Amino acid sequence: MLPRLESYEAVRKAFVWQVPERYNIGLDIADKWGRAEPDRPAILTWSQTEGAGEVLTFGQFAERSSRLASHLAARGVVPGARVAVILPQVPETAIVHAALFKLGAISVPLSERFGTDALEHRLRDCGARLIIGSPAALSKVIAVSGTLADLDRLICLDGATEGAEALLPLLSGGDGGFKAHPTGPDDPALMIYTSGTTGPAKGALHGHRVVLGHLPGMEMPHDLFPEPGDLLWTPADWAWAGGMLNILMPGLHFGVPVVSARLDRFEPETALRLMSEMKVRNAFIPPTALRMMREVESPRARFDLALRTIGSGGEALGREAYEWGRRELGVTVNEFYGQTECNLVLASSHRLGVSRAGMTGKPVPGHDVAVIRADGSLCDPHETGQIAVRRPDPVMFLGYWNNEAATKAKFIGDWMMTGDEGFMDEEGYFGFVGRDDDVITSSGHRIGPGEVEDCLLSHPAVALAAAVGKPDPLRTEIVKAFVVLKPGHRAGPEIETALKDHVRARLAAHEYPREFAFVDSLPLTTTGKVIRRLLRDEDR
């Protein structure tokens, strides 16, 4: 845990990693509390129709994950076997992952929202023998099963179906005292596929230490988490590193209850009602979701919120969302940064005095982060370069699955290159500019799309915005903005001129969008990030 000191500098100086020689995620997040406090709540279920529902205790969590591990071992799941988990945000998802960790198998979380092509690539690439999924997910798997040579067995969340046995009976019977496979911190445990925006998705393989590596990055943006009474929730899919490793597993490690909600999509009113009814104290809400919440009038007056902290990451938060959170929710949103390969390495913390609108934060204690040039040298203050993390680092991936060349290309010496451009100021704050393939080059200027988008969001007519580069023979690229207007505003020359003037006055003449497209919605990933690549491709 981070030392309980009252300044960032003191905490960073005093922090030391403590990674044991033997460590298993399943034993840590389930059995540790299951033995010590079996009646302690682990996962609290909420639904839109019934509100608060089932409570899974740590004792039940430990026992059911052990029984499932026993059943799976009898079905031939061995250490190192890849098992795909395509489940929603339900307690059984945590039970399945814990069981696989106890087996020494490699859990491969995949989103229910993936289409058949995305699932087929990932399942074939990882060589999954077993898939545990929801009925909707398994129907997609069955459609492509003819190409999955390694696939041997299907298990279904909501009861037996054709070709799949039911999951729930496997959580009883079996051996409740199943002895976990002895694992070390570097033994493989988890494979999360990258988004694949610049090519086929790659499996980022993590060791059991990945949960320990996330702990400081969880504690810092949640202002020295945990405190008595803390309760966690995120709308992020538990199949994503953000949902699983930013909230679910660290929360269970600390014995803090996590709220699960099986929601089809993010709706601001539903999110506020959930947080009010469940008395959520600590939330991870991605920036796009926070921007959508700005459409809810007077949230504090309408909802009885108990929020202590909000962490946000996955894309740049921006000044508008930061200031809205302070004004309308009464909470300083703490931004953080990381990626699937090396997550939660930069963060803000209002309590530790690291908080600045428009800036991501400072290095989380235990992580060596810098902005470097292509030759590996350090950038000067305010010089744009690539954000990089020095190895060894407990949160860093072991490598890409079956892709040694891509793993090697990820590093310059001991610096792991994130592919994200940013800068650092004289006080050690990091600013995020954008993905290296999202940065716009116009008339010799490099323009970060996030800054343009944040400026557009400050206009009272704009609900959501995305900025991309459009090829231009004179300027190399021009800035093109895709804008979703708020109700009561109509697209046309007048609003286009107003938005151009708004950005030109607040940023710079070379940064304002020279072209606009007014749309009903923006393409989003399952994690809530805008997919600028699709906008660029569609435009071109």
C-alpha 420/C-alpha 95 separation (Å) is: 34
What's the token pair of residue 265? 């999509």
In Å, what is the CA distance from 34 to each residue of 208, 319, 421?
A: 19, 42, 43
CB burial of residue 444 (10 Å; 0-12, 13-18, 19+): exposed
Find out whether 61 and 98 touch, Cβ atoms under 8 Å: yes
pLDDT tens for the 540 residues of the chain, in order = 899 998 999 999 999 999 999 999 999 999 999 999 999 999 999 999 999 999 999 999 999 999 999 999 999 999 999 999 999 999 999 999 999 999 999 999 999 988 888 899 999 999 999 999 999 999 999 999 999 999 999 999 998 888 899 999 999 988 888 999 999 999 999 999 986 445 578 999 999 999 999 999 999 999 999 999 999 999 999 999 999 999 999 999 999 999 999 998 889 999 999 999 999 999 999 888 898 899 899 999 999 999 999 999 988 888 999 999 999 999 999 999 999 999 999 999 999 999 999 999 999 999 999 999 999 999 999 999 999 999 999 999 999 999 999 999 999 999 999 988 999 999 999 998 877 778 787 766 668 788 899 899 999 999 999 999 998 877 778 999 999 999 999 999 999 999 999 998 888 777 899 999 999 999 987 667 788 888 988 776
C-alpha 102/C-alpha 471 separation (Å) is: 52
Amino acid at 254: F
Superfamily designation of domain 438-539: ANL, C-terminal domain (3.30.300.30)
24-207 and 438-539 agree in CATH topology:
no
Cα dihedral 468→446→430→356 (10° resolution)? -70
The top-level CATH class assigned to 24-207 is alpha beta
Quote the pLDDT of residue 444. 62
Quickly tell me which residue has 């289409």 as its tokens. Answer: 115
Quote the pLDDT of residue 540. 66
**Eight-class DSSP state of 298:** -
Q: Which residues have a Cβ under 8 Å from the Cβ of 515 and sit 6 or more positions away?
A: 470, 478, 479, 480, 481
SS3 231: coil
CB burial of residue 413 (10 Å; 0-12, 13-18, 19+): exposed
Quote the pLDDT of residue 527. 66
Compute the radius of gyration of the chain from its Cα atoms: 23
- State residue 221 phi and psi, 5-degree precision: -70, -15
**Eight-class DSSP state of 524:** B
The closest alpha carbon to 256, from 235, 279, 225, belongs to 225
- Please state whether beta strands 342-347 and 440-442 pair in parallel, antiparallel, or not at all (unpaired): unpaired
Quote the pLDDT of residue 528. 72
Quote the pLDDT of residue 197. 44
C-alpha 322/C-alpha 326 separation (Å) is: 7
Q: What ranges do the domains of the chain cover?
A: 24-207, 438-539
